[in-house]
Structure 1
Amino acid sequence: MAALIKKKRLSVLVAVIILLAFSFNLQPVTVEATSTGGLGPVTPKDTIYQIITDRFYDGDPSNNIPPGFDPTLFDGTGSDLKLYQGGDWKGIIEKIPYLKEMGITAVWISAPYANRDTVIEDYHPDGSVDRWTSFHGYHARNYFATNKHFGEMQDFIALRDALHSNGIKLVIDFVSNHSSRWQNPTLNYQPEDGRLYEPDKDENGNYVFDSNGNPVDYNGDGIVENLLADPHNDIHGFFHGLGDRGDDNTRFGYRHKDLGSLADYSQENSVVVEYLEKAAIFWKSKGIDGIRHDATLHMNPAFVQGFKDAIDSAPGGPITHFGEFFIGRPDPKYEEYRTFPDRTGVNNLDFEYYRAATNTFGYFSETMKDFGEMMIKTSNDYIYENQAVTFIDNHDVTRFRYIQPNDKPYHAALAVLMTSRGTPNIYYGTEQYLYPADASDIAGRMFMQTSTSFDQTTTAYKLIRKLSDLRRSNEAVAYGTTEILYSTDDVLVFKRQFYDKQVIVAVNRQPDRSFAVPDLKTTLPVGTYQDVLEGLLYGKSMTVVEENGQHKIKGFTLSGGEVNVWAYNPSLGTEIPRIGNVISTMGRPGNLVYIYGTGLGGNVTVKFDTTPAQVVSNSDEMITAVVPNTPGIKSITVIKGNYTSNSFRYHVLSGDLVQVIVKVNASTEWGQNIHIVGNLPELGGWDPAMSTEAMMCPNYPEWFLPVSVPMGTTFEFKFIKKDSNGNVIWESGENRIFTSPNTSTGTVDTPVYNWRY
């Protein structure tokens, strides 16, 4: 009888599943599905506009309080910025004309997937309690479902299509460092949340969605998700579980311990790697154009390198990657920060630029001469200087308007941002002079709908439009190099140049004082140059004359707050190829690579050093090519007839990367560190100068370091000691040999080796 009852229950369950399949049009899918395709990666010709989705515009009030959500956690008036306000994807769609008219060509939105949706309570010594929500999108819960406050998957697709049809690229925030807060630091670290979920799976292990792409209850248990990982019962080792970082400023501390009690993923665990790669590829398949990676400072670079390459290797070609490597100024992590893009392929939000800009134009604690020196130093230090995403404020820092309430230096900072090296990012509302109640980041996350009228006549709005147009039309801004022509405490004149194309910017940050600028040498042709801003910031024309065989910009006076932008934009012709930018800068053989510049059309040959690459398509401004099988750091050139272009650095990976966590016991002298060098390009090709970063040593004398190597590969390596002066000591004996995992998301630990003296 018991068996009969079980059979009847099973039959009923099958019938329910069949009925659900007809009702919801279930579609078992794999996340490797073909990408719908985007507009292409964000390039230095673009102007990015950062939107905290909940804080922009409410286009659909019906999703303000989703089913099961505590209505007391919704505000909607902009009064309590710790709560949800109602901004959503339909609201962004409604304001696309506003964005397009401003010259915005890419938007960066909050993480689109499901976040923790319960109250977060912070307790204070006086007995008061702050109630927070995860409106910002940085408390991941389920990467394969949408944040219902923003809309369903069909709403996300509608946003993508609306943006793309208006020539605007779509970048999403993506958190691969942590889930949500798993213990409450304000309540003696009592257990909280941090749990991670996934959709129902079919019999083949594929996630199941309805025809619109939303998860459904496939297994008939009344819910549309299943618990994947729980930091309070971490049976699969999904989380590091080492507690808060606190004041631990070691690399081990900020990479492996919790950031603000957020449950920190163990990115050395193959289960974690597989899940996060699937999640990112899932969103890539929805047609996004880029990912802003959260908290890259706190992530394992070996994971980041493989993660980024897995995304770019999925259908759809490479997309833009930049991340939040948060540093101060000065900061002992600067060297790690500046080399991160070259080591991982993920560029940086340019905190060095931000610090200098706010100090120079906001606090006036640094001079314009200091700012110019920063631009030259970082141009030399950054390998991909024009791919760094520059900004003067964002969601993690004080709004610039709070720092600088005077319009003239405020506008000067914006003008310099839009014409400097890098790819500019405008924080939502900067063009509307949003002024927060205080200097905190939460105060700056204002609800734009209740704080502004989306005025398209502000000076800042018009300034962004004019300089966005210039950035797209004159390659000197997007691809050029920087030269300081003149600088004092309060005045800066700098030049951006790409071959014969030039843009010269002259800025006076002082609002009420005028300064005379002397004659300046120039290579510009003789003539008169009009201010691109057409006097918007009090600018005027500039004259170039020839005196004694030398071309000079005649001396001029900058009035208070005056900004001039003078442009020379001759045609470079189509005969000579010139490279301005390459995306991505790192990839495995067989991946696509996009080469941007001028003169790239017609019959061209692309080479990685001396190895030819297959050209898929090309036009005067862009080449799509296939990365050849020639691992290592290579120089890309374009050959056209008798002309060879300038070169651009590219890192050809040895294959599909996996992680090997290398361990060794070794004693060192003060100032020495242990590094790994081996026969693979990823291990330096036996060149000590190209070895891995220093291994970490939380438990001296045992050192460890996750490294990226191609899967299923037997490789050779040795340990070396380096000191701060670059002196190298090799361990003795034969080369060590190890074989990497043969699955694409595999990870493995080596034995704990002993240093051989």
Structure 2
Amino acid sequence: MCIRALCVSLLLVVSVHGRPWSDDVIYFAMADRFSDGDPANNVPAGSDPALYDAAQEDISHYMGGDLRGLEKAIQSGYFNKLGITALWLTPVVRNVWRSGYDLGGWKAGYHGYWTQDWLDIDPHLVSRTGLTGESYSDDAEGRMEHYRDFVKLAHSKGIKVIQDVVMNHAGPVFYYDANGDGTFNMEQKDEWVQPFKKNGFYANSAWADVPKWNIEKAQPDGPRNLLGVPIATKGTLARLDSYGRKGFSPDSLGKSDGEEVTCDFFSLRDIWTDPKGGNFDALVDEFVEIYQFYLTTVGVDGLRIDTVKHVHPEFWDAFTSRLRKRLGPAAAGKILFGEVYDGDPERLGQYTWRSDWPRSNEPGLDSVLDFNFCFNARNYLRHPGAEYGSAAKLEKSLATRTGTGAKARPYYNPNPGPDGLNAQQKAVTFIENHDGLNRFRVHGITAERNRLAQGLLMTLPGIPCLYYGTEFDLLDGRGKPGEDGETGRMMFYRQKGGPTMADVASSAGFKEISKLASLRAKLPLLRTGKLIPLWVDSGSSSNDDGVFAFARASEDGESFAVVVLNASGEDRVTSDGTNQIKLPATLKSAGKLLHPVLTTGAEKQPRAPDIAADGPLSLSVPASGMVVYEAIRAK
């Protein structure tokens, strides 16, 4: 490597560790669904070959995506060109490879949420050789070495890596011996799933052993040494009494009465996180030992924590405080954000507080995925054809992070974490994902509407998170608005009939997101400025149907930007024929012009003119488009 290239590489690494999370743009990829960079790992040695679909069509099977496919994209500059600064991957640890009972029946563990070994990387995702030809051994050491090199490569391009982790459950590593014969009868549903037992637990649980599906006793079962580092795990996760063994209640998935905290997820085995449980401290310490290894030795930059509301809150108190203590000063550069599948802002924000509030005001999780934002943004934009909703609910939802709930405290903890930022500043915003709410662009949703949704995401407060394929306006033709499902988990870069990276990089969607990311990087206001709603479809006139306008401003109001979105298929203005936007006095608009710096949805239209900012504003916005104005001094 030449001296100049080495210096550039070092600068990028520094930028990764010195860049605040509020400046990042996250790209969420299902590791098995992005790109098959190494076909040699599609059927790992000893695995059931029937679990892999070479046609890459059946979403219940493995499709071949791996770290090598992502590495090739990183190396080519794909994510840098798109404007991505952080990669979040579905869990990479070794999984159970097949379950006999899950939502939809038989399914492979391609998604990564069925952990079998917390200190091994899944063989489906790794290669035997590195990008530069070095060899990796075919064992946990070699697999971890590849994962560490993946993180190093991302860092060399200025990209952080977020590891998706599960502490609520393991995969179906044990069975319920329903008939008492001491054998796992895999064709019997009741040996995979037992009805929820409110009192007590099922004592007939036994570790399973089906090597071709990697259904084996949970690991680690004792200390490990990986990458030259001793990891003092004690085998707590390999003890049956570390699991609740209470069976599954289908009603609990949507409930909030405590049952959702103690039951299995279908055939996934619930970890017993009750603070009164005999293994509570041991479990906390085991996970701290595991994740400090990933956050330090491997070098990942943060954890996205799955199924947060299905774990006892006291567990998160203990885990976050002990992990931060273990990390020491390094904790300032890491982020811990959780998935709380709930649209209630108070329920979402409660996990940014410790459960012993008000005795302690310290942060719990650094932040959460903002499902409240997601649901209301989709209500505004995710409609078929020319239909659209009102932005009124979205406007209200944007105030919830600083709003006050029933406990007379802000929904989101305003107290700063180790990095000096608080949960309100680090909320992760998204508009689509891999779970039930599915991909934004399904049957009937246009590519233009999809791009408008990403524009909304990239200009409102929060750390924006893009879902893989959205840069190509990837269509899930089997999904429909209003229907939950997992049909959007398709292969992006297919071996046959799919786009090339060059095709995607030249597409309208990729270019638009790249421009949005560049503008977000150029204008700090779009990352950290306070939000001031300015206009929502009035209902009294058709002039502004589908329009939503807001400002992002500095605290003193001297600097600001105005963003106007139009969900309609017709050109619109911020006017109902009588009233127009008048910027509030908190924005210092005198002597300033609104200068258009980005227009989407109107490639062939002339650029909008500069407009005096201190008068009534009838701002034009093209069909299915968005205009961003920066306030500048009039010459």
Q: TM-score range by the shorter chain?
A: 0.7 to 0.9
- Aligned residue for 1:245? 249
Of the candidates 218, 221, 224, which is equivalent to residue 197 of structure 1? Answer: 218
- Aligned residue for 1:504? 562
Of the candidates 116, 132, 147, which is equivalent to residue 141 of structure 1? Answer: 116
Question: Which structure's residues are more often helix, by fraction?
Answer: 2
The aligned runs of 1:739-750 (5 Å cut-off) are none
Contact 1:485 1:495 in 2 (8 A): yes
- Aligned residue for 1:28? none
- Aligned residue for 1:294? 306
Of the candidates 537, 562, 578, which is equivalent to residue 625 of structure 2? Answer: 562
Is 2:450 the counterpart of 1:425?
no
- Aligned residue for 2:197? none
Of the candidates 482, 485, 490, which is equivalent to residue 446 of structure 1? Answer: 490
- Aligned residue for 1:533? 598
The aligned amino acid for 2:527 is A
Of the candidates 343, 360, 368, which is equivalent to residue 348 of structure 1? Answer: 368
Contact 1:197 1:228 in 2 (8 A): no
Is 2:534 the counterpart of 1:543?
no
Is 2:106 the counterpart of 1:106?
no
Quickly say closer, same or farther: Cα 1:210–1:367, change in 2 above 3 A: closer
Distance (whole Å) between structure 1 residues aligned to residue 52 and residue 230 of structure 2 = 24
- Aligned residue for 2:338? 323
Of the candidates 207, 217, 241, which is equivalent to residue 224 of structure 2? Answer: 207
Quickly say closer, same or farther: Cα 1:214–1:71, change in 2 above 3 A: farther
The aligned amino acid for 1:514 is R
Q: CA deviation at 1:58?
A: 1.5
- Aligned residue for 2:582? 520
The aligned amino acid for 1:132 is K
Contact 1:140 1:196 in 2 (8 A): no
- Aligned residue for 2:211? none
Distance (whole Å) between structure 2 residues aligned to residue 227 and residue 70 of structure 1 = 28
The aligned runs of 1:464-479 (5 Å cut-off) are 464-479=513-528
Is 2:434 the counterpart of 1:390?
no
- Aligned residue for 2:288? 277
The aligned runs of 1:479-490 (5 Å cut-off) are 479-488=528-537, 489-490=545-546
Contact 1:255 1:300 in 2 (8 A): yes
Q: CA deviation at 1:374?
A: 2.1
Contact 2:601 2:622 in 1 (8 A): no
TM-score normalized with structure 2 length: 0.73
Q: CA deviation at 1:314?
A: 2.7
Q: How well do the aligned residues superpose, as a CA RMSD in angstroms?
A: 3.0
TM-score normalized with structure 1 length: 0.62
Contact 1:362 1:403 in 2 (8 A): no
The aligned amino acid for 2:160 is K
Q: CA deviation at 1:461?
A: 1.4
Q: CA deviation at 1:144?
A: 0.9
Moved more, 87-96 or 434-443: 434-443
Q: CA deviation at 1:251?
A: 3.3
Quickly say closer, same or farther: Cα 1:531–1:186, change in 2 above 3 A: farther
Distance (whole Å) between structure 2 residues aligned to residue 169 and residue 553 of structure 1 = 43
Is 2:451 the counterpart of 1:411?
yes
1:670-711 CA-to-partner distances (Å, cap 9, x unmatched) read: xxxxxxxxxxxxxxxxxxxxxxxxxxxxxxxxxxxxxxxxxx
Tell me the SS of whatever aligns to 1:335: helix
- Aligned residue for 1:733? none
Tell me the SS of whatever aligns to 2:425: helix
The aligned runs of 1:656-667 (5 Å cut-off) are none
Q: CA deviation at 1:81?
A: 1.2
Q: CA deviation at 1:170?
A: 0.5
- Aligned residue for 2:171? 180
The aligned runs of 1:47-126 (5 Å cut-off) are 47-96=25-74, 97-117=77-97, 119-122=98-101
Distance (whole Å) between structure 2 residues aligned to residue 386 and residue 37 of structure 1 = 19
Distance (whole Å) between structure 2 residues aligned to residue 457 and residue 486 of structure 1 = 34
Q: CA deviation at 1:226?
A: 11
- Aligned residue for 1:682? none
Q: CA deviation at 1:404?
A: 5.5
Distance (whole Å) between structure 2 residues aligned to residue 345 and residue 228 of structure 1 = 24
Contact 1:42 1:169 in 2 (8 A): no
Contact 2:161 2:302 in 1 (8 A): yes
Q: CA deviation at 1:306?
A: 1.9
Quickly say closer, same or farther: Cα 1:461–1:525, change in 2 above 3 A: farther
Quickly say closer, same or farther: Cα 1:169–1:469, change in 2 above 3 A: same
Quickly say closer, same or farther: Cα 1:388–1:123, change in 2 above 3 A: closer
Q: CA deviation at 1:284?
A: 1.0
- Aligned residue for 1:309? 321
- Aligned residue for 1:257? 263
- Aligned residue for 1:624? none
The aligned amino acid for 1:498 is S
- Aligned residue for 1:10? none
- Aligned residue pairs: how many? 504
Q: CA deviation at 1:116?
A: 0.9
Tell me the SS of whatever aligns to 1:65: coil
Moved more, 390-399 or 499-508: 499-508
Q: CA deviation at 1:309?
A: 2.4
Quickly say closer, same or farther: Cα 1:542–1:513, change in 2 above 3 A: closer
The aligned amino acid for 2:326 is A
The aligned amino acid for 1:501 is S
Q: CA deviation at 1:478?
A: 1.5
The aligned amino acid for 1:321 is L
Distance (whole Å) between structure 2 residues aligned to residue 37 and residue 467 of structure 1 = 20
Distance (whole Å) between structure 1 residues aligned to residue 346 and residue 581 of structure 2 = 38
Quickly say closer, same or farther: Cα 1:336–1:436, change in 2 above 3 A: same
Contact 1:432 1:452 in 2 (8 A): no
Q: CA deviation at 1:260?
A: 2.6
Tell me the SS of whatever aligns to 2:378: helix
Quickly say closer, same or farther: Cα 1:568–1:403, change in 2 above 3 A: farther
Of the candidates 392, 397, 415, which is equivalent to residue 374 of structure 1? Answer: 397
Distance (whole Å) between structure 2 residues aligned to residue 520 and residue 388 of structure 1 = 29
Distance (whole Å) between structure 1 residues aligned to residue 15 and residue 459 of structure 2 = 30
The aligned runs of 1:586-735 (5 Å cut-off) are none
Of the candidates 508, 512, 518, which is equivalent to residue 463 of structure 1? Answer: 512
Distance (whole Å) between structure 1 residues aligned to residue 22 and residue 88 of structure 2 = 15
- Aligned residue for 1:723? none
Tell me the SS of whatever aligns to 2:331: coil
- Aligned residue for 2:381? 361
Moved more, 269-278 or 165-174: 269-278
Quickly say closer, same or farther: Cα 1:342–1:568, change in 2 above 3 A: farther
Quickly say closer, same or farther: Cα 1:299–1:116, change in 2 above 3 A: same
Q: CA deviation at 1:178?
A: 0.4
1:313-371 CA-to-partner distances (Å, cap 9, x unmatched) read: 2343331111110014xx5xx42222221332341111001100111100367412332
Q: CA deviation at 1:137?
A: 0.7
Distance (whole Å) between structure 2 residues aligned to residue 516 and residue 501 of structure 1 = 21
Q: CA deviation at 1:399?
A: 0.8
Contact 1:195 1:229 in 2 (8 A): no
Contact 1:41 1:290 in 2 (8 A): no
The aligned amino acid for 1:254 is E
The aligned runs of 1:125-164 (5 Å cut-off) are 131-151=106-126, 152-164=143-155
Larger radius of gyration: 1
1:368-403 CA-to-partner distances (Å, cap 9, x unmatched) read: 233222223444343432311111101112210016
The aligned amino acid for 1:163 is A
